[in-house]
Amino acid sequence: MDIKSASFVVSNSEVEKCPKSNLPEYAFIGRSNVGKSSLINMLTNRKSLAKTSGRPGKTQLINHFLINNNWHLVDLPGYGYARVSKSSKKTFQKFITQYFSKRLQLVCAFVLVDIRHTPQTIDLEFMQWLGENGIPFCIIFTKADKLKPMAIERHVEDYKNIMLETWEEMPEYFITSSSKSIGKDNLLNYIDYLNNNLAK
C-alpha cells in the first residue's frame, strides 16, 4: 500500500466525539517514548503528522488521522510513565480503555515495544488486557536500527518465549525502524490485507 494522503481529523479525550464514520481504524499505542510518533510519521511519509517529543507523555489525546480517504490511523496516549499529574494519568488511562471497549470500527491495535529491552511487565499486562477483552492486536518492535541482526533475532526469540508462557501462539509482529524505514512495507501491506478482507 502506498499512502497518498494523510490528514489530521480530530483530537479529543471522549470516545463519543471520535469520527462517526464507519471507516476501519488501526490504533497505535505503547509505553511513553517508544517511538510511536516517529513510526506514524515514517509510515505516512510526513515529517510532523504526529508530534514527536523527547519528553515522554507528549500524546495525551485520542488523535485520528484519515489515510487515503479510506481508513483511520489512531494515535493513542502512551501508557506507563508520563510526566503528568496522577489525576491526568487516570483520566487518559480511562479513555484508552473506553476507546478499546467502545470503538466498534477498530480492526486492530498495534502495540509498540522497544526491541532493545527485555519484555516489560506493563506491556505484557496491557496485551493480556487486550486479549481478555477480545481486542485483536499485533506487536511492533521499534528501534531495530539500534541492534545488529543477530541481536534482533535473539530479542524477538526471548519475547516469543515469554509470550508463549501465557499465550497459545505469538501474535503477529513487525520489526521496524523509523529512521531507516525498516518494516514500513510489511506493516502497510498487512493493513491493506485486513482492509481488503473487510471489503469482501
**pLDDT confidence band for 1 (50 / 70 / 90):** very high
Count of Cβ atoms closer than 10 Å to residue 184 Cβ: 19
Give the angle 27-100-14 at the CA atoms, nearest 5°: 90
Q: What pTM value is reported for the model? A: 0.90
Amino acid sitting at position 142: T
Tens of pLDDT, residues 86-142: 554 555 477 788 899 999 999 999 999 999 999 998 899 889 989 999 999 999 999
- Structural domains in the chain plus CATH codes: 6-199 (3.40.50.300)
Tens of pLDDT, residues 132-179: 999 999 999 999 999 999 999 999 999 999 999 999 999 999 999 999
- Residues of the chain with pLDDT > 70: what percent? 88
Strand-by-strand arrangement of the 25-30 sheet? 6-12, 62-67, 71-75, 25-30, 106-114, 137-142, 173-175
